[in-house]
Structures are given as structure tokens and as C-alpha cells.
Structure 1
Amino acid sequence: MLGGDGEATEAVRLADLAAMRLLDQPGDAEKYLRQALSCGDGVLPAEHLARLSSQLVMVMSGQQGRERELAAAAQEAAARWTGISAADTVHLTFVAARALHRAGEHAAAVTAFAGPIGSGEAPYPPMEMALVFGQYGRSLKLLGRHREAAGQFLEGERLVQAEPGQAEMQAELAWSAATALDSCGEDDQAQVVYLRAARLWGALGQVSKRARCIRSAAWLQHWASPATSGGPTAMRALLDELEQLERAAPSPAVRTELTYTRRQLVEMEGQ
């Protein structure tokens, strides 16, 4: 049986074997890293163990179907970095949260996201942080926490507003925010954000998504003031726009949106 020094030496040997296989033999690298962590626990310095844990997370990242295992490894690594490197702790906590989100473990994902985001931590560039806010928002929305979800989507949208080439991400986040606001009864704000998303989709040439946002805003306007003609007016304006587009550049997508818009206008005017 190995003593403390012997265990430390064996752990270092296993870690070296893992390092030689990180790029081309990830399965072997993972095996050696797990053995090194087991053998070195309590005998290697805490930072050394934390680095080995980070390497294990790196090896496991990107392997489909292992999100729960990755989350567990990242949470363990984050715990090892606590008190040593705040930046590593935050990064690995986000790795765990995003893996849990992908695994459909939304309650656990929300708990993991809440720590660093609630503390205002933003360790990534704006585009990457917008993705994080989007994932957090979707997990919240799937738990029925629509108002909180809307806040995350709006923050993600804000981050990419000035980022070149990210108009589609901005539009997606705005649309997600609008639907979340709609779901929690924030009708006035939802209407504003639906119309913003519609403008963004229009600039991208996304006819169907633009039309859906406009119809949603029109219904909110109609329900808020059914005695006025605001909702039907917005729906007729969309119908005119789609009819002109069908004459100029007919397509199945435009015809589908025409059908939906005509049907919903009849329904709205019948109320």
C-alpha cells in the first residue's frame, strides 16, 4: 500500500500520462485524470488538484450525451477552485449550469446560473454572455418563471445590440423576451418588444418571424382596447404588406403568413 509520498508520486505519474493523451486519446486521458484525482486527493496541493479537475472538464466538454456527467465534473472543479481562483470558480460554475440546461435539468441549471449572474459576474465577451443569458432565460421560462426569464433575455439582447453580425441573435432574444413578458401579463412592455423584434426580423428578411411578432403585438393592442380599432388596423397593415410581397415575390412562406393573417383578422373583427 502506497504511503503519502508514494500516492503523490503515483498521482503525478498518472497526471503526466493524461497530459500526453489530452489531444489525441481523450478517453485514456479522462481515465488517467480520474485515477490521478483519486490517488492525489489529500496528498497533492489543492491548486494541483484543481488544475487536474479543470483538465477533466476540458476533456469531457463537447462529448454529446454526457451533459450530466460534465455538470458534475464542472461543479466539483468549481468547488476545488473556491478560495484559489474566483475566475476559475465562476467559469466552471457556468460550464456546469450550461451543461445542466442542455440536459434538460432546468431547476438545477437555474440554481447554478443564479450564483454568478446574481453576483454580476460576466467572464466572457458580450456575445458569449448573451448566449449564457439566453440559456438561463429558457430554463427559467420552462419552469414557469416568465418575468425573470424576460429579464435575462432582455439583458442578453442589450449585450449584443452593438455587436456586428449579431442581429439574428438580438432578434431571437427580443422575441423570447416578448413571449415571456406576454406570458406574465406585462402586455404593454410585451407589445413594445414584439414590435422591436419585428423590426429586427424585417431587417434580416425573415418574413414569417416578422409577421408572427406583428400579429402578437396586434392581439395585445386589441385586448388592451377592444373598443378601438388599433389591433385590426395593425393586422390590416400587415395583410397589405404581405399581399404586396406576394405580388412582388411569391413564396410558400408568404402565402402561409397571408392565410394566418386573414384568419386572425376575421377573428379579431368578430370580437
Structure 2
Amino acid sequence: MGNRAPDGVEAGCAGQTGDGEGDERGEDAERLAGLAAARLLDAPDEAEEYLRKALALGAGALPAETLARWHSQLVMVLAGRPGRELELAETALHAAARWGGVSDADAVHLTLVAARALHRAGRHAEAVELFEPPLAAQDAPYPAPEMAVLRGQFGKSLRRIGRYREAGAQFLEGARLIGNDPARVEAEAELIWSAASALDAGGAEDQAQQAYLRAARLWGELGRIGPRSRCLRSAAWLRFWSADSEADREAGITALGEVLAELEALARREPSAQVTVELEYTRNQLADMQER
């Protein structure tokens, strides 16, 4: 952060013409930042304007930590404004640089804010570049449920740029983080299903099949007929297509037949439009598989 004068103003900063002027600028910047803080929740437009003016005035006149804190407040303002993801990402990265050497935890958090903003904006290659270093280093600045969401977003961006197996690994890690939480079984099932699909696309057939079956089990625990049936059908097809022998292909047909039998039994006990739809899909796919 460099040496500081006794009054807390950084010494030797570019653009500072004298202690008196620097003090005055610093006081004006702090006044504007105070106005911004009072308007963060109810008047974000005004808060943003005050913060930008405070940062311009405070540069070279106030301690680095004070300026970093105001940059973080500006990120918070932009994070609540829909449609400004790219601006949010740029501002968050600038704020992260300000926290470098002051607070590593804040720098990591703001880097991930930028990554998530780029993910939402569809800039997946750029998002991956920012997600990768902190997550590879196992930095975990949030509770497990939030980290699971973060891993899921990272996985989606990886998948969009064709890094399928790495995407699958991120989805599975997200599922692991919430695997013992009964309140998040649905989120776990979604992550494992996403992992199965990514691993399937990446040619990791055995891992993909296991993940489809794991997801199907979880969907069954939740009573979700449609997702369970789709996962079981995908697992059966994967077994069929990756078969090395006629016996293995027959095993795929048998697996799909078991899905059909399960749905037929369910239709007799609890008939519903959803069961009817899944029955039709499964019958058609079984007929297709048998023809092949």
C-alpha cells in the first residue's frame, strides 16, 4: 500500500498537488460516499452517481482500503441492475484488483462475481478464465449450497465451450457439496443429471451411465416420474450404443423394457397425463431400439 503521511493520505500519489488539496478532495469524496451509502437500497441510480464521483475525487487522496470498499459498493449497486452484466463484470474485476494485497478473500469474491456476470451474459470462454483459478485452488468463499450453484454455473460454461468432461466433474463436485442435505435433493439430482449429459457428450460412457442411474434414483425419491424416466431411458440407450457384443446390446433393450414395465404398473395404480406421455415415449424408443 506504500508509505502514508500522518493524516492517512497516501504520500507521493500521482495527481496529488499538495496535502491541503488532497485533504479537501478526500473530505469531498467521503461526503459523496456517505450520500451513496444512504441511497444504496432505495435510490440505486443516485448511489451509483455519488460513488463514481467519490472514486474519482478520492483517487490519490485516500487509503487504498477505503477506495477498495467503495469499489465493492459500486459492484453491489450494479449487481442489482438487470441487463448490465458486462459492466458489472468489468467493475467487479477492477474492484478485485483494488483488493489485491489488502484482502485476498474480497479479491476472490469479486473475481467470482465477474465470472458469474459473464456466465449470465453468455460470455462463457471469458467466464471460464475467471472461474478456473479460484476454484482450481479450492477457494470456497461461500457456504456449501452457494458453492454448489457456483460449480454448476462453471460447469455450464465449460460445457458451452466444449470441455465436456471437465464440465461433468464440476457438476459432480457441486452435487457432492449438497449430497447430505435433505432440503436440496432436487438440486443434487439436477446437478448429477447435468453431469451425466456432459460426460455422455464427452465420450465418458461408463461415468455417464452411472450418473444417469444416480440421478434417476434421486428423482424417484422425489416422486418425479418424468425426470426419472428420462434418466433411465438415457442410461439404457447409452448401454445399447456402447455395447461391445450382442449380449450387451440385449442388456440395453432389457433395461429399457424394465422402464416400460415400471411405467405400465404405475399407470394401472395411478393413471395420469404425465405417466401416459412417458409410456408413449418409452414404447416408441423401445421399438426403435429393437429395430436397430
> Per-residue displacement from partner, 1:121-174 (whole Å, max 9, x unpaired)?
011111000000000000010111101101100100110101230000100000
Gaps of 5+ in 1: none
Are 1:234 and 2:291 counterparts?
A: no
Aligned length in residues: 271
- The aligned residue for residue 269 of structure 2 is 248
- The aligned residue for residue 102 of structure 2 is 84
Task: Measure how far apart 1:224 and its partner are.
Answer: 2.3
> Per-residue displacement from partner, 1:6-64 (whole Å, max 9, x unpaired)?
22222112111112212221111111001111111122110000000111111222321
TM-score by length of 2: 0.90
- The aligned residue for residue 40 of structure 2 is 22
Question: Aligned to 2:140, what secondary structure does the other structure show?
Answer: coil
- The aligned residue for residue 81 of structure 2 is 63
The answer (yes or no) to whether the contact 1:127–1:163 under 8 Å persists in 2 is no
> Per-residue displacement from partner, 1:75-121 (whole Å, max 9, x unpaired)?
11111000000110111111111111111111111111012101110
Gaps of 5+ in 2: 1-16
TM-score by length of 1: 0.97
- The aligned residue for residue 264 of structure 1 is 285
Higher radius of gyration, 1 or 2: 2
Which range moved further: 59-68 or 203-212?
59-68
**Which whole-Å CA distance do the structure 1 matches of 2:231 and 2:119 have between them?**
26
**Which whole-Å CA distance do the structure 2 matches of 1:227 and 1:269 have between them?**
12
Which of 184, 195, 204 does residue 177 from structure 1 map onto?
Answer: 195
Superposed, 1:1-16 pairs within 5 Å as: 3-16=21-34
Which range moved further: 131-140 or 254-263?
254-263
Task: Measure how far apart 1:4 and its partner are.
Answer: 2.5
Runs of 4+ in 1 over 3 A off after TM superposition: none
**Which whole-Å CA distance do the structure 2 matches of 1:204 and 1:83 have between them?**
47
**Which whole-Å CA distance do the structure 2 matches of 1:163 and 1:205 have between them?**
17
Q: What CA RMSD, in Å, does the superposition of the two structures yield over aligned residues?
A: 1.3
- The aligned residue for residue 53 of structure 2 is 35
Which of 242, 256, 273 does residue 224 from structure 1 map onto?
Answer: 242
**Which whole-Å CA distance do the structure 2 matches of 1:34 and 1:186 have between them?**
50
Percent of pairs with identical residues? 57
**Which whole-Å CA distance do the structure 1 matches of 2:142 and 2:182 have between them?**
17
